[in-house]
């Protein structure tokens, strides 16, 4: 079995062939797909998908750092309302974090929204899915300050170096490995040699970051097999072993 732990298959990119895409995922051996939320513009589409595929799809709720704008308080209030009223529908808070690639000017607001959502996660004992882009130091500073026994999660689409692996391990966070590991020259293949299999979970981040040989195309959950194959090659073990161990990790983290 395989679990795609981070996939935005409710996105409009799948409007035309969603049923066929879900079928391909099933045929590729993907039993579960975990949906990270973005903002109020897509909560409805995500909830609709979860209603249509209750056995294959589980939802997270949260405000994405790239959606931290002037209406951040209104957006956070919606997330909080979902957590207060429909807590049982969600397996995690995500995706949350800090993105300094697209917008550095909102760092303070992003940090504040991130911290707020981490605190909700601690109270509710929910894991978190964290988006890190050009922001490892900022993310780790907040995690360090907020660290408690109740706080755990994943650094999704992990592309850090050795130093970041050590920090993630120290905080007890999983590293989410996706299509980037198959990109020539990404360097993640080398870093992965230093990461233990019990520290990673697999993801696609569909529709983004399709693995080789689909690089540049729309990504979808079925392509996670290419990620699993690459991890198996790097670790020198079978694809089945990679699937079994990473799925067990995901089940443990998200209490599936």
- Per CB under 5 A, residues contacting Ni ion are 205
Nearer to Ni ion, 114 or 234 (CB): 114
**How far is it, in rounded angstroms, from Cα 217 to Cα 196?**
30
Tell me the two tokens of residue 189. 């293949």
Provide the minimum distance between the beta carbon of 240 and Ni ion in the complex, in angstroms, as a whole number: 27
Measured between alpha carbons, how far is 38 from 239 in angstroms, rounded to an integer? Answer: 31
Minimum distance from CB of 133 to Ni ion (Å)?
10
Q: How far is the CB of 60 from Ni ion (least distance, A)?
A: 10
Cβ count within 10 A of residue 204: 30
Would you say 131 and 93 are in contact if contact means Cβ atoms under 8 Å apart? no
Residue 96 pairs with which residues in a beta bridge? 130
Q: Considering the complex, state which of residue 56 and residue 204 has its C-beta at the smaller distance from Ni ion.
A: 204
Min CB(6)–Ni ion separation in Å: 6
- Shortest Å, Cβ 139 to Ni ion: 15
Using the minimum distance from each CB to Ni ion, give the nearer residue, 93 or 234: 93
Helix, coil or strand: residue 59: strand
Indicate the residue among 82 and 97 with the shorter CB distance to Ni ion: 97
Closest contact distance (angstroms) between CB of 117 and Ni ion is 15
- Identify which of residues 138 and 205 has a Cβ nearer to Ni ion in the complex: 205
- In this complex, which beta carbon is closest to Ni ion, that of residue 6 or of residue 226? 6
Q: Is the dihedral of CA 246, 203, 148, 195 positive or negative?
A: positive
Identify which of residues 205 and 220 has a Cβ nearer to Ni ion in the complex.
Answer: 205
Instruction: State both tokens at 209.
Output: 């970051």
CA pair distance 222, 4, nearest whole angstrom: 9
14 with 207: CB under 8 angstroms? Answer: yes
Q: Least separation, in Å, of the C-beta of 236 and Ni ion?
A: 30
Residue 216's CB is within 10 A of a number of other CB atoms, namely: 8
Query: In 3-state terms, what secondary structure has residue 73?
Result: helix
Q: Where are the beta strands (DSSP E) in the chain?
A: 2-4, 30-35, 57-61, 90-99, 128-133, 153-156, 174-177, 200-202
Are 192 and 177 within 8 A, CB to CB?
A: yes
């Amino acid at each position: 079995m395989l679990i795609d732990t981070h996939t935005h298959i409710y996105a409009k990119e799948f409007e035309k062939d969603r049923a066929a895409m879900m079928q391909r995922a099933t045929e590729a051996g993907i039993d579960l797909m975990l949906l990270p939320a973005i903002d109020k513009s897509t909560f409805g589409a995500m909830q609709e998908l979860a209603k249509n595929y209750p056995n294959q799809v589980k939802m997270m709720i949260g405000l994405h750092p790239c959606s931290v704008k002037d209406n951040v308080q209104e957006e956070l209030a919606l997330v909080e309302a979902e957590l207060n009223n429909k807590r049982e529908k969600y397996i995690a808070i995500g995706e949350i974090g800090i993105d300094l690639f697209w917008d550095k000017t909102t760092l303070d607001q992003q940090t504040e929204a991130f911290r707020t959502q981490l605190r909700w996660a601690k109270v509710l004992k929910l894991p978190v899915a964290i988006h890190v882009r050009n922001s490892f130091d900022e993310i780790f500073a907040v995690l360090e300050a907020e660290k408690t026994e109740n706080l755990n999660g994943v650094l999704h689409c992990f592309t850090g170096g050795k130093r970041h692996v050590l920090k993630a391990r120290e905080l007890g966070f999983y590293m989410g490995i996706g299509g980037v590991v198959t990109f020539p020259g990404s360097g993640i293949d080398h870093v992965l040699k230093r990461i233990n299999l019990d520290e990673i979970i697999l993801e696609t981040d569909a529709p983004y970051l399709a693995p080789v040989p689909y690089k540049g195309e729309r990504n979808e959950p079925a392509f996670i097999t290419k990620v699993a194959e690459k991890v198996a090659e790097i670790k020198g073990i079978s694809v089945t072993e990679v699937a079994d161990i990473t799925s067990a990790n995901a089940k443990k983290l998200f209490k599936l």
